[in-house]
Amino acid sequence: MSRKLSGEYLSVIESDIKKSTEDALRQKEYILNSTARYHGNYVRTCYMPKLFSEEEYGYFSEIIDTLYKIFDKIIRRYFEDEAYRKKFGFDERLERLILRCDRRYLTIPIARIDIFYNEETKEFKFCEFNTDGSSAMNEDRELNNSLKDAGAFKEYVRKNEVRTCELFYSWISEMESMYKEKSGGKQLKNVAIADFTSNASMEEFEVFEQCFKKSGFNAEICEIRDMVYDNGVLRTKSGMEVQAVYRRAVTSDILKHYDEVSDFISAVCDNKVLLFGDFFTQIVHNKILYKIIWEEDTLGMLSEKQREFVIRHVPKTFRPDSIQKELIIGEKDKWILKPEDSYGSKGIYPGISFSDEEWKDIVENKVDFGSYILQEFYTPYADDNYILENGRLNKRKFYNLTGMYVYNGKFAGIYSRISKEPIISTQYNEMALATVIVK
């Protein structure tokens, strides 16, 4: 379906390539002056948005529903079974933080689930389960803003009814609902957006802060190390009393700076502030889950439908030392090496991106097999788009990655990424597309 939709859009672009080029130049100028930035770098894109049908949107919702039922079983097993818990190998401090969580509320509050989706067959493989620091909502917002005055988009929406994914107020609404449930009906007023600000997507945080304020909340962006806990109250640097924390600080960074965030940790452990999301989200975020989910110990507690879902859609994953190095080296295009706990595509080594000599050096000298997983490599689906190159619009083929946002267990929207190469990540020329849903 999306192939048919994009074919129609490409025809509109090609009907007046000169006008489309002028529009693409204006689109680029908008983005250069927008808030779609990360550490000063603006997001790169193509002229045509990513188009999905409402039927496909519903299909993604079904995927999330099945996946979250599996997550629920795994998370609860982690709490109930010490032997199962040991499989994850978490730091003792992290394990204590997880086990103190309220077991009545173990739905992951916010996540972005990334998949390689084949638009022709509807087949897919999971790529990442991002629960800590799920981001890029602002990129989708700004990319859609950049489309509004484009002639091709105007012509397309003249013939088709479309919508976009609203990813800010929908999260605020779910967060308020979760707070009311967990606090026994109390009203949420004061929210802190907390991270290590040197790592943060500050432009995105500022949009969230504005949306919180427009929704009637007091909201502040906080350097997590500057939060102060005194007399049973967690405060921001400015003195605001915090009721809830929208946590964007990833768990690995918190553990790395554990002694520097002791006030934040104490307030959480004393149940003086509600954390969205709490530390049990690491059970899913950590890539060791990909290995554990394939073990019979996990498959055995799933329904037949859920087992089939895992076998069909979760890439086979191993500890690297469970396979001979010679086999890994000799089949480099078959594998990708990923650190168990990372973000922003840091430390990822896809065999397909390296020469035989480079791959051998990586496997033998650069990867700590004790903290890495070995995963089967999946070539993403590719299709056509138009990109500005030296002031001209050129048609190129791009590989696709589809991110599914989930708020309070409900499918909330889509983030679309592409690359000229089959590796789609920030360190391999990744780009993003505005996502448009066609009714």
Instruction: Please state the domain extents for the chain.
Output: 2-61+109-162+386-438, 169-281, 316-377
pLDDT tens for residues 43-98?
A: 999 999 999 999 999 999 999 999 999 999 999 999 999 999 999 999 999 999 99
- Which helix (H) or strand (E) is 210 found in, with range? helix 202-214
For 50, what's the count of Cα atoms within 13 Å in the CB-facing half-sphere? 27
Average pLDDT estimate for 216-223: 98
Alpha-carbon separation of residue 390 from 273, 394, 429 (angstroms): 52, 10, 17
| Coil vs helix vs strand at 423 | coil
pLDDT tens for residues 123-152?
A: 999 999 999 889 999 999 999 999 999 999
User: Closest Cα partner for 425 from 360, 336, 340?
Assistant: 336
Q: Name every residue whose Cβ is closer than 8 Å to that of residue 106 and which is 6 or more positions away in sequence.
A: 72, 75, 76, 79, 280
Contact yes or no for 402/122 (Cβ under 8 A): no
pLDDT tens for residues 308-337?
A: 999 999 999 998 887 888 999 999 999 999
Average pLDDT estimate for 280-287: 96
Q: Which fold has domain 316-377?
A: Dna Ligase; domain 1 (3.30.1490)
Q: What's residue 347's pLDDT? A: 82
Contact yes or no for 244/188 (Cβ under 8 A): yes
pTM of full prediction above 0.85 = yes
CATH classification of 169-281 is 3.40.50.11290, yes or no? Answer: yes
The Cα–Cα gap between 245 and 276 comes to 6
Q: What's residue 434's pLDDT? A: 98
Q: What's residue 344's pLDDT? A: 59
Nearest-10 crossing angle of helices 169-182, 202-214: 70
Which tokens hold the place of 70? 């599996």
pLDDT tens for residues 223-270?
A: 999 999 999 999 999 999 999 999 999 999 999 999 999 999 999 999
The Cα–Cα gap between 135 and 153 comes to 26
Alpha-carbon separation of residue 211 from 23, 170, 194, 238 (angstroms): 29, 10, 16, 20
Which tokens hold the place of 97? 């933080």
Beta bridge partners of 373: 338
38 pLDDT band (50/70/90 cuts)?
confident
The Cα–Cα gap between 25 and 224 comes to 39
pLDDT tens for residues 189-215?
A: 999 999 999 988 899 999 999 999 999
